[in-house]
Amino acid sequence: MSTAVELNDSHEHDDELNYIRSARGRRAIGVAREQEHKPRLTRVADQAHSNFKAAEAFNIAPTGFNPTFKGKRFEEEWLRQSLGSFYDDSLISDVLSQVKGGKEANVYCCLAYPGLGPRWLAAKIFRPRMFRNLKNDAAYREGGELIGRDGKAMRKKREQTAVAQRTRIGLAMLHQSWLSNEHGTLTRLHAAGALTPKPWGVNGNTILMDFLGEQAMPAPALNHVDLEPAEGRRLFEQMVSQLRLMLKADVVHGDLSAFNILYWQGEIRIIDFPQAVNPWRNPNAFRFFTRDVTRVIDYFSGYGVNANPEGLARALWREAYGAEAGERLGE
């Protein structure tokens, strides 16, 4: 008769076999590095432990995480891989629905872990190759640093060379840098009091953050909302205050528009910061900032707002940087 310990060992062994079978031919999510050498099933006993450790590094979910939301073909496994670490860390207990799907990332509504505080959390899962499609990414990266998974700069020459040559490993590091940049920016802005979602966690391809709205009715983007004229003007003044606050936190969004401003019951939240730049490091920052201001004014002009984009951008810039503003403007 098998003992309880033997049965548990058998189950663990089966789990290990299942992982190895399912991992065959699959790109590793996290650092976006492919598994080039797949273990043979005949060597399971010797390699199972190390394979599970490797799975953790690539954010492969444990077998205990079984989301309610299944999605399309292959999506369930993608969710388990991407969100399993948040389940392990007692941040989420389930995935309930897809909020938004796009060519760059999908956003899901997750049930927060009991006692955490919020009822729901939003998981933004980036597609493995999304950053290869970013237009003019070099202009955003100019003057910046590659940020690793630990939030620290990657300064080794071989890392810089790999990114410059767009090797597979270089692209993986670039992907991670963009995601780490967004998480770090959200963390700083939330701490500064900005109207941005609070980040709760990050792994190799996902940011977990506050969810705005309700599960059955997520907060829409401003471009899908019809406002009263007075409400539109109030929100414009609020956005000007947010632009001012972000500059003082040394953040230029870089792609701000009504598409990435959420609205819910009179509140707004600014989202999508992977391309955010530091005004002191990126020589294109003021151009990006002026474009952000222009798009905000264009949207709110439909509610009676009349403002000069370049004039407002320069005024906010000078207010934030004082005597040094001229140098940053190239004057």
The answer on pLDDT for 43 being more than 80 is no
Q: 220-331: same fold as 66-218?
A: no
**Amino acid symbol at 15:** D
The CATH number, out of the four listed (3.40.50.1370, 3.30.460.10, 3.40.50.300, 3.30.200.20), of the domain defined by the range 66-218: 3.30.200.20
pLDDT score of 17 more than 50: no
- The string of pLDDT tens digits covering residues 136-156 is 576 766 655 555 555 555 555
Q: Give the residue, 308 or 66, on which the prediction is more confident.
A: 308
User: By the 8 A CB rule, do 123 and 82 touch?
Assistant: yes
Instruction: State how far the alpha carbon of 270 is from the alpha carbons of 51, 95, 327, in Å.
Output: 40, 23, 28
pLDDT of residue 92: 97
pLDDT digits over 196-248, tens only? 999 999 988 899 999 999 999 999 999 999 999 999 999 999 999 999 999 99
Instruction: With 0.75 as the threshold, say if the pTM is over it.
Output: no
What is the domain partition of the chain in residue ranges?
1-52, 66-218, 220-331
Between 116 and 74, residue with greater pLDDT: 116
Q: What would the pLDDT profile of 121-136 be if each residue is shown by its tens digit? A: 999 998 765 444 555 5
Considering the domain 220-331 in this protein, what is its CATH number?
Answer: 1.10.510.10
